[in-house]
Structure 1
């Protein structure tokens, strides 16, 4: 364990370098930070009295006929969608009051507001002779600071018990202070292992503080507290990222070995797969989560449960490197799980519901049986966790033995569960999950509620069409479902990943439905003689590296497309084959001076090969009608290897972005495109000019 963290050291080191650069603004900010840190160390602020509480979450404190009530604040209406759809929290009555706090897993993501864990917990308690109410304070996206704030105000609700289901959002970079960010900056160029170690120490300190606050709150109020330790979808979630730029010139070899190992695993060639995975680990120094996750799959194929779990957990935790890129899915790493367990054990008032242990007892290495995506629970997963919490809450009624708890069926309608699985398919596709997982959710949705097929058609129709969503009746139909609207509203960009389109089509049970789906895709007709289609606007093109774009229009401030994979694929639906022409402007990433070969393919056949370097090049490429087909046509650009270790100027730029707590890009770039137009062959050269 490293020594005590001195927040001055990383600031001083970076400031010294800044003073020799032109970045005076950051240098001034660091001077100011040094002053504040030094003053804080020498003169810590005196303890102040806690401010008066006038609200809890989005509910404002108001006097009521039976005592203090909390009414949902109109001023906070923009945040209503993140919380329980409850207008009023009544005054405390004679009933036992359990306050339920947590993140999106506790909110019941995908099922909310039709069915939530808090509602189900109240039902289980009441059907087991507990006269209890559950106040639902779970919030989608709850950050550590917000949890701390809720804990400081929860006494106003006069709870008889607390349940806290949180930890998945604690590893987001938003909880880092400026000095901690700069200490991480010191590690990135050459010491990624130290990056993980420092970040893990930050997570441990954060978990210590939050569990300590939960414990202090329970002891102050004289009530029991239950902390639910989150689990991760170990068996089926994939963080399929290439090695980051500080891994050197290994990208092409790594991808080749990865593809070989995947093929060997699929074919059951386990000894050969193990050899390939060993070679992969030597290349990426066990810093690519994919390698560890594939090793877990190898152990599962050999029915080695414990080694499989260890490998999957390693993949989950080494992925913390992705936190700097904002492409890390929420998760509760081992350092947080163990800190919760250790700190809770030190207090008689705090108990835990250990979800990793619960799921391991029933399924070994947990996967899609309990999880909708990386951490959000299926109906069965919710049921297992809620019953375990209810059993712990037997302390509220000592005369009722915990062992006598009767299990209660989860009251979720088939339509609600089907919609949840379809939403999960959409969400998983944006996280770059394999098509097999998307088909699993689509198949499950259709089996539960066959009419969900119409919602699938609606989604593909308005998300792949060029105009704003709201002008389409399909959007209005789907968004009229209260369960679906909050999830669809989050996505700014109009995207339908191609693997989701293919998964939906594959799971449609009837030939007539598949034919209708094909007709829907062809609504984006072939370009007329006076128009051109920009393939960079292809709604079906999407990779996990584009995930931040779903929520912000352009977080990296890019003026062009950047290829993060060695092959970039774009689709063009055509109602008929006709001669066309491509106007392409592209280059290799900055720093590439030598010419390298790039190949453009159409539907798997070579269309043109050409050489590129780091300067923009314009190309005009004819496309014969015989090479095209009715339906989806795929244009693929095959880029050269990512090249040697990135130059220091680019690395410094990304570290500076991290220092400002902005989106950064630590993964290799293969190529860049400023324009990719395709038009009918007689489209004028002047109009198609790049």
Structure 2
């Protein structure tokens, strides 16, 4: 197509008109009008003609409705169960498990899943052939995804619906209209107002619509319903360092970070009551928007024996991250847990509350042994879950099924169930699951003791050593990890292939800089291999300290990516490995966009030793230092003091929301264009 000069001139003129702030608002308004007039492309309710359910198609069969896999997209297929065909239920009661990644069995899927363990429990309880469990859970499922599956259940001849969901409900996809709503809330009430409106006007209405759909489908289809209330790994999960607190007004940011350092020091000294007082002052400054005070407070209360208080503090820490338009791990909030409990009670549905089922008997706190990470369950956790659900399913069965029932021995919360069938995982498969959990926890910046727990569990299981050695080799090779035999050895296991393949390029770069390789080598009792996955140019011995790093603003705030790294913490930390001890040169290109009016110099440290001062600078500044390098090395950039205007940040964020963009919700202490080590 030929474009004439007049058309080019008109396009240039239109671009000029839309290029300023007012133009961006006009363009966003036009997009909102167009979006409002566009009909929904994926209605929640399934039509009788639509036989699709997830990646399957419902078809009639000799024993009733069957499900046949139809997807050709491997990326979509890996989110659902690896089942090509579900036969008709014949004389069995069909149990559909609907939910998110916890219901899928993330990190153990497809070798062990909650649905598979539930099938074993029901066979044990009621006899083989009495129940047919169908896995309709989807990793990453949102509220609308769940509603579509629930709407399709009547055509599948489902007798029992098990709803295991809630962890993704605070991870809502925002519309342009939502942006206007949240912009008004942020402008008027700050972050506290933003969080309240997100919960009350966005999350709760969509959840209420889903639960009404469950109620309607269950009533019309005569289905039994079991509602499972998810739980979070409160005791073990630590908020990532990157996300400590958002932009606070005035001097509150400096004071908050000062109090945080004092609180951590008091905990180190075992001065529990003093630490609690400091945490309370931090929470007053941040209006409950930071996970850190609650986390530290819970540690102190646990040491004092106040387990109920620790639970409340850790739940507040967990919930603090929701509603701030920041990326965070899936989690169910206290309000959503209560919504599910109330929904089950009002409709007389079966209820399995994992807050109780997964609790350790001595403390009432969730037992970390039941978790692989923040919310995904270990085989032990799946067994507890499946036993409780099976009891509810059998208890609600029609009278005709009574004669086939058997009972499992009663078990205290958090205990083992002798007499219940073991999960189907072979020791080697379960060991690989723990190694994947170590990777996942390291990716999210979890403490060394968490990595040790999972790696030690893997090595205690039969067949765990060989995959642990393969993982260490994959993380420390000097060639691209995906091209190594070690990677192929790991991906022999279906759950490792499912988890590692989508991240084969980026994962080794990121994980090689965590404590994971060192902990693996230590527990394997082998020397640390030379090299670090993809971090060094073999010809020039140049190590890029930003390789594999996630830009704090782009990753957590989901804002537009930039050509430089934005640090949301007062200290940027990195590490590198040298082939042999010697001298190294470190080049750092940085700037500080929000220097304090009375600045305090920053400092560059190598292996804990002062290397160079870092003066505040709004323009790009280069610092070059030489230092002694040892085997494992650490680099810390302690930023000069910063004062980011809360009012200016709020104005920029409101404008971003009104124009359909993601605001940068975290403070930016400093920016790095290049950070390289030459050995």
TM-score, normalised by the number of residues in structure 1 = 0.84
Change (3 A) 1:49 1:477: closer
Give unmatched runs, 5+ long, in structure 2. Answer: 1-16, 410-418
The match for 2:334 is 334
Secondary structure of the 2:322 match is: helix
What's the CA shift string for 1:582-618, capped at 9, x where partnerless? 3332111267788752322221111222423110112
Shift of 1:651: 4.3
CA distance in 2, matches of 1:273, 1:69: 59
The match for 2:638 is 638
Shift of 1:662: 5.3
Is it true that 1:575 corresponds to 2:579 in the alignment?
yes
The match for 1:43 is none
CA distance in 1, matches of 2:250, 2:45: 51
The match for 2:183 is 185
The match for 1:438 is 451
Q: Aligned runs of 1:231-630 on 2, under 5 Å? A: 231-240=231-240, 241-322=243-324, 324-326=325-327, 328-348=328-348, 350-360=349-359, 362=361, 363-394=363-394, 395-396=396-397, 398=399, 399=402, 404-405=407-408, 407-411=419-423, 412-449=425-462, 451-463=463-475, 465=477, 467-491=479-503, 493=506, 494-496=509-511, 498-501=513-516, 504-505=519-520, 507-510=522-525, 513=526, 515=527, 518-521=528-531, 531=540, 533-538=542-547, 556-589=560-593, 597-621=601-625, 623=626, 627-629=628-630
Secondary structure of the 2:593 match is: coil
Contact 1:583-1:620 at 8 Å conserved across structures: yes
Shift of 1:366: 0.8
CA distance in 1, matches of 2:559, 2:70: 31
Shift of 1:654: 3.9
The match for 1:159 is 158
What's the CA shift string for 1:384-421, capped at 9, x where partnerless? 11111111111225325988335513323222222111
Contact 1:325-1:664 at 8 Å conserved across structures: no
Q: Aligned runs of 1:166-205 on 2, under 5 Å? A: 166-174=165-173, 176-188=174-186, 190-201=189-200, 202-205=202-205
What's the CA shift string for 1:342-391, capped at 9, x where partnerless? 2222224x322122132347351114122221111122221111111111
Change (3 A) 1:250 1:498: farther
The match for 1:207 is 207
Contact 1:425-1:500 at 8 Å conserved across structures: no
CA distance in 2, matches of 1:305, 1:427: 27
Shift of 1:249: 3.7
Secondary structure of the 1:191 match is: helix
Contact 1:461-1:520 at 8 Å conserved across structures: no
Q: Count matched residues.
A: 637
Change (3 A) 1:249 1:367: farther
What's the CA shift string for 1:648-669, capped at 9, x where partnerless? 2x54444444456655431122
Give unmatched runs, 5+ long, in structure 1. Answer: 1-17, 41-45, 681-690
Shift of 1:141: 0.8
CA distance in 1, matches of 2:22, 2:478: 42
Contact 1:118-1:135 at 8 Å conserved across structures: yes
The match for 2:69 is 72
Contact 1:371-1:377 at 8 Å conserved across structures: yes
The match for 1:96 is 93
CA distance in 2, matches of 1:499, 1:315: 24
Secondary structure of the 2:632 match is: strand
Moved more, 290-299 or 392-401: 392-401
CA distance in 2, matches of 1:81, 1:137: 13
What's the CA shift string for 1:41-60, capped at 9, x where partnerless? xxxxx999935222111012
Contact 1:438-1:503 at 8 Å conserved across structures: no
CA distance in 1, matches of 2:487, 2:46: 51
Contact 1:250-1:283 at 8 Å conserved across structures: yes
Change (3 A) 1:100 1:49: closer
Change (3 A) 1:343 1:522: closer
CA distance in 1, matches of 2:137, 2:314: 28
Moved more, 452-461 or 255-264: 452-461
Change (3 A) 1:69 1:659: farther
What's the CA shift string for 1:149-174, capped at 9, x where partnerless? 11111112101111111111111031
CA distance in 2, matches of 1:477, 1:222: 48
CA distance in 2, matches of 1:191, 1:317: 17
